[in-house]
Structure 1
Amino acid sequence: METSTFDTQKRRITYQLFINAPNDRLVTTNVRFWKDSGIAVDLTSAGMRVEMGSLSTLFGGGVSFDIPEGLDLGEPVANKTEYHLFDDQKSIQDSVFTEHIDYVMFFKDSVRGLQPGAPVEFRGIRLGTVGKVPFFIPG
C-alpha cells in the first residue's frame, strides 16, 4: 500500500496500491480486492471455517485479490483503475446477489442454532441467507 487518503465530503478512504511485475498482469476487470487480516474464522451452524494467509499478513494485515468463482479472467486494466475494497473474501461472494425477495417462514420445531447470515439451501443449492432470527410480530 503506497498511500491512503480520507475524503471528508464523501466520508470515504481511498488506498493506492502498487503491485509489482509480473503480478500486475493478474489484475483484470474481474478481480476483487479484500482486506486480509491474516486469519479469518467463521463459525456457523454449518460448522467452522478457518482461513489463514501468509505470515506477513498475519502480523501486519494487508490486501489480497482474486477472481471470484464463476467469473472469467476478465480484460487487462490500465494503471490507476479503481476498485471497491471488500471487508473480507466472503463479502465478495455475498455482493453477487443484488436482487432478493424477502420471505417469512415459521417452524413448529426449534430453530436453536440458526443465526442471521446462515445459508438457506435446497438439495445442496444455496437459495438465500437467513436475515433475522427470531422473528416477532410487532404489537
Structure 2
Amino acid sequence: KHSRQTLSDTIQSSVSRQIGVARLTRLVDKLVALGSLSAPAVAVASYNVTEARYYAQRLIALSQSKANVLATMVDQTKDLPEYDIYQSIPGFSDKTVVSLIAELGDLHRFATSNKLNAFVGIDL
C-alpha cells in the first residue's frame, strides 16, 4: 500500500549509512515484487502479526544497541597506537580493528609471529 518513494525513504532511514540509488532501486523493486507474490495467511489483527511485529521491533532495538556498543568501543580504542596501524590495512573497518584489539590485546606480548599464529590458531 506504500509508494516506491515511501519504501525508499523507509529503507534509507533504517540503515546506518547511505545506500546508493541503484542498489536502493533494486531493493525496492525486489520488495514490491515479493509483496505482489505474497498473500497474507492470517488477518491483520491476528496474534501472529502482532508477534511478528514484536520480534521485528526487538531486532531493530538489538541492532541499534549493538551499533551503540560498537561506537563506544571505537571511541575507547582510537587513542591506542595499534588502532592506527590496523586501520592502515586496506579493507579493515572500525569493527574489524576493534575486534582485533579486543581479541589480541597488546601485540608486544608475542615475541615472534609464530607465537601470535599459535595464539590465533592458524598454521601458515
TM-score range, shorter chain: under 0.3
Q: Pick the structure with more strand per residue.
A: 1
**Larger Rg, first or second structure (1 or 2):** 2
Q: Pick the structure with more helix per residue.
A: 2
Which of 1 and 2 has higher RCO (CA within 8 Å, sep 6+)? Answer: 1
